[in-house]
């Protein structure tokens, strides 16, 4: 049969190849718009945006009332962190029921209203989906732990003997369960057991979850720690180097790409959806492997986004490396719920530097993601006592430090190094009680600077960080060259970024001055969008020519 096929198929194969080539090249030259390349995304950290019922947590009704704000800011895409039923040990990344909205955030109808109104304003909504693990409160796990022959047993990973794999929050990744006298595997908290991606029944279950939300009209997913899926089971012990475990065998397992292909194929059953993968790595060569049309549309570029401190050279190198090695667009961001606020981490609390960094992520080639509050320069909060800490990762680190013999004050300092609460404080809307976020007691404390630093006051100040973000986003929304343009130039000279992007017969140049003041010669025929020829330190200039 095989021989026959190859003998007789050859001429057809050639014809097929020609047709395919023509189809692909015409599709490429047709310049079809791709909505996510045109979109500036805005990440809403679910508990912290806008409360409507006074329970101290944000909710869909509150968020719906703020869609006009997001619309006026110009964002065309929202990423919602998990809002599914959850005990919120990890603020929703521990899902108890994939088909329900957590009651603190409202109801499924409130979610539908939110998404419908967002759509009516031309704003797409992508939702976080956590398929690496669930909460121990998930019914699947409740069943799984009951007995070794329960139909749900193999939804999770159980062993009589644990290996040396460690949790990413600290400590062993195994927890003993006395009901069946076995250990279950958890890469994160012990209340977040890992799903078993070697089990076809589990995979089908997850496909149904995806379809449920796609049917409700979500425009795509942000897939949580998606390269951590345990597709190949528990294999070798991880090596320990300088006292620290290297996560070699527990992530990026060989079967992962097959799993991702299946996830993407399921999403592709629906038109025009978008997938951004959270690949837990800051190495471009790892990130690179996962970005392709059949795996992830884009991945979060932590090589760029999670740079620990400001370095113009480093930022430039990463941008250049992404240009050289990524097959599609990189993502451009400097903030998220897992890292300290941009303005503290990279800008030394200097608003002018934060604005310059905003200019970079909004004008460079890639998909920009803004973390809520970044547009008003929101700053880190700091826990003064252990009781103030909500973040499970910081709590775990505190306990580990105490066990190692640290004094409580030192354990707190250790925990604060890992404390993700820092960037999770409530959105600062105005100078009224609780910054207009809630009439009740906020789930986490506000930053004390909200009295001056809030949307209401910054929107009336010309040149404020808020108005700078707004103008930059408006420009990106208007200019196709900033959405689709390729680099004609990408250069760093004396701590100044020079980038030129071209699209069709248009050209836009951007100069960002991370150095001393300079005078720039702007071509006479240029149309200046922002800035002027005298660039003080941290100023930027954008013009079309």
Query: Strand, helix or coil at 527?
Result: strand
CB of 391 to ligand GLC, least distance (A): 9
Among 224, 250, 374, 421, binds ligand GLC (CB under 6 A): 224
**Residue 535: strand pairing partners:** 518
Site string for ligand GLC, 117-146 (x = CB under 6 A): -------------x----------------
421 part of the interface to ligand GLC, by CB under 6 A: no
Least distance from ligand GLC to the Cβ atom of residue 483, Å: 27
Helix (H, G, I), strand (E, B) or coil at 91: coil
Q: Binding of ligand GLC at residue 93 (CB under 6 A)?
A: yes
Rounded to whole angstroms, the Cα distance separating 28 from 92 reads: 40
Mention every residue, 6+ apart, whose C-beta is less than 8 A from residue 391.
418, 419, 420, 421, 424
Nearest CB to ligand GLC, comparing residues 90 and 539: 90
CA torsion angle 283 187 173 411 (round to 10): 80
Q: What is the C-alpha separation between 482 and 495, in angstroms, rounded?
A: 22
Q: Does 338 bind ligand GLC (CB under 6 A)?
A: yes
- Taking the C-alpha atoms of residue 265 and residue 259, their distance in angstroms, rounded to an integer, is 10
- Dihedral over Cα of 186, 411, 239, 279: its sign: positive
Pick between residue 167 and residue 291 the one whose CB is nearest to ligand GLC: 167
Task: Quote the least distance from Cβ 278 to ligand GLC, whole Å.
Answer: 6
Nearest to 544 by CA among 491, 496, 517, 504: 504
Query: By CB under 6 A, what part of segment 488-517 binds ligand GLC?
Result: none
Task: In whole angstroms, give the CA distance from residue 497 to residue 493.
Answer: 7
Radius of gyration of the chain (CA): 24
Which residue number, 202 or 353, has a Cβ lying nearer to ligand GLC?
202
- Tell which residue, 32, 66, 14, has the closest CA to residue 438: 66
Nearest distance from residue 312's CB to ligand GLC, in Å?
27
Kindly state the tokens that stand for 55: 């329970």
CB of 525 to ligand GLC, least distance (A): 46
Residue 130 C-beta: closest distance to ligand GLC, Å: 5
Task: Report angle CA 88, 400, 239 to the nearest 5 degrees.
Answer: 100
Phi, psi of 128, deg, nearest 5? -70, 135
- Burial, 486: exposed, middle or buried (Cβ in 10 Å; 0-12, 13-18, 19+)? exposed
Q: From the list 63, 223, 225, 251, which residue makes contact with ligand GLC (rule: CB under 6 A)? A: 225
- Positions 156 through 215 that interact with ligand GLC (CB under 6 A): 188
CB of 393 to ligand GLC, least distance (A): 7
Give the nearer residue to ligand GLC in terms of CB position, either 84 or 188.
188
What would the x/- binding string for ligand GLC be over residues 269 to 288, using CB under 6 A? ---------x----------
Binding mask 71-90 for ligand GLC (x = CB under 6 A): -------------------x
Closest approach, Cβ 169 to ligand GLC, in A, equals 8
Report the DSSP beta bridge partners of residue 85.
97
Give the residue at shortest CB distance from ligand GLC: 93
- Given the complex with ligand GLC, which of 177 and 224 has the nearer CB atom? 224
Half-sphere exposure of 395 (CA within 13 A, CB side): 11
Considering beta carbons, is residue 224 or 414 the nearer one to ligand GLC? 224
Q: Choosing from 90, 224, 318, 375, which is the catalytic residue? A: 224
Cβ at position 527, least distance to ligand GLC in Å: 40
Name the maximum alpha-carbon separation found in the chain.
79
Question: Of the two residues 50 and 393, which places its CB atom closer to ligand GLC in the complex?
Answer: 393
Given the complex with ligand GLC, which of 165 and 529 has the nearer CB atom?
Answer: 165
- Any idea which residue has 């990413």 for tokens? 168
Near ligand GLC in 295-324, by CB under 6 A: none
- Answer yes or no: 318 catalytic: no
Report helix, strand or coil for 315.
helix
Q: Which is nearer to ligand GLC, 115 or 130 (CB)?
A: 130
Q: How many residues bind ligand GLC (CB under 6 A)?
A: 9
Give CA separation, 210 vs 141, 218, 337, in Å. 19, 10, 23
- Residue 250 makes contact with ligand GLC by CB under 6 A: no
Q: Give long-range contacts, CB 8 A cutoff, 24+ apart: 349-356.
A: 349/379, 350/538, 351/377, 351/465, 352/537, 352/538, 352/539, 353/310, 353/514, 353/538, 354/465, 355/465, 355/468, 355/469, 355/538, 355/540, 356/512, 356/513, 356/514, 356/538, 356/539, 356/540
- Taking residues 367 to 406 in sequence order and writing x for each that binds ligand GLC by CB under 6 A, - otherwise, the string is ----------------------------------------
Looking at the Cβ atoms of 130 and 332, the one nearer to ligand GLC is 130
Q: Which of 90, 177, 278, 421 is catalytic?
A: 278
Question: Does the annotation mark 110 as catalytic?
Answer: no
Distances (CA, A) of 102 to 55, 106, 115, 163, 359: 13, 7, 16, 35, 36
Q: Is 435:48 a contact under the CB 8 Å cutoff?
A: no
Q: Which residues are catalytic?
A: 224, 278
Residue numbers at the binding site for ligand GLC (CB under 6 A) = 90, 93, 130, 188, 224-225, 278, 337-338
């Amino acid at each position: 049969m095989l021989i026959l096929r190859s003998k007789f198929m050859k001429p057809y194969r050639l014809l097929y190849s020609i047709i395919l080539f023509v189809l692909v090249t015409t599709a490429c030259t047709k310049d079809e718009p791709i909505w996510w390349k045109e979109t500036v995304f805005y990440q809403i950290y679910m508990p912290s945006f806008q409360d409507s019922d006074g329970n101290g947590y944000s909710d869909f009704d509150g968020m719906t009332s703020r869609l006009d704000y997001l619309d006026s800011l110009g964002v065309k895409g929202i990423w919602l962190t998990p809002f599914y039923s959850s005990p919120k040990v990890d603020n929703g990344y521990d899902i108890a029921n994939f088909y329900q909205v957590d009651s603190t955030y409202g109801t499924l109808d409130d979610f539908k209203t939110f998404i419908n109104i967002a759509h009516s304003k031309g704003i797409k909504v992508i939702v976080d989906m956590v398929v690496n693990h669930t909460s121990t409160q998930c019914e699947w796990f409740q069943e799984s732990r009951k007995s070794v022959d329960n139909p749900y047993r193999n939804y999770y990973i159980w062993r009589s003997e644990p290996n040396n794999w460690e949790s990413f929050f600290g400590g062993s990744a195994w927890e003993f369960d006395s009901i069946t006298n076995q250990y279950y595997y958890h890469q994160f908290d012990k209340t977040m057991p890992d799903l078993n991606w070697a089990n076809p029944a589990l995979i089908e279950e997850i496909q149904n979850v995806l379809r449920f939300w796609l049917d409700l009209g979500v425009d795509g997913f942000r897939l949580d720690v998606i390269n951590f899926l345990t597709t190949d089971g528990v294999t070798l012990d991880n090596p320990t180097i300088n006292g620290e475990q290297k996560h070699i065998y527990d992530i990026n397992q060989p079967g992962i790409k097959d799993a991702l292909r299946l996830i993407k194929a399921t999403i592709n059953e629906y038109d025009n959806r978008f997938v951004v993968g959270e690949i837990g790595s800051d190495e471009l060569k790892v990130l690179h492997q996962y970005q392709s049309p059949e795996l992830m549309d884009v991945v979060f570029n932590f090589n760029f986004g999670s740079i620990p401190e400001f370095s113009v050279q480093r930022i430039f190198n990463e941008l250049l490396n992404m240009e050289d090695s990524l097959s599609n667009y990189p993502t451009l961001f400097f903030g998220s719920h897992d890292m300290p606020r941009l303005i503290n981490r990279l800008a030394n609390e200097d608003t002018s530097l934060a604005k310059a960094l905003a200019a970079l992520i909004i004008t460079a080639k890639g998909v920009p993601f803004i973390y809520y509050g970044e547009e008003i320069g929101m700053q880190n909060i700091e826990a003064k006592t252990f009781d103030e800490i909500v973040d499970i990762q910081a709590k775990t680190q505190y306990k580990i430090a105490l066990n190692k013999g640290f004094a409580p004050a030192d354990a707190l300092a250790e925990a604060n190094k890992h404390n993700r609460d820092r960037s999770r404080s409530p959105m600062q809307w105005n100078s009224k009680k609780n910054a207009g976020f809630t009439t009740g007691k906020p789930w986490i404390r506000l930053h004390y600077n909200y009295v001056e630093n809030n949307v209401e006051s910054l929107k009336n100040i010309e040149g404020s960080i808020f108005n700078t973000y707004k103008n930059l986003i408006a420009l990106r929304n208007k200019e196709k060259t900033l959405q689709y343009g390729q680099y004609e130039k990408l250069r760093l000279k004396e701590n100044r970024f020079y980038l030129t992007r071209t699209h069709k017969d248009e050209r836009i140049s951007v100069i960002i001055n991370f150095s001393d003041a300079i005078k720039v010669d702007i071509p006479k025929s240029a149309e200046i969008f922002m800035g002027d020829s005298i660039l003080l330190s941290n100023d930027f200039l954008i013009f079309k020519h």
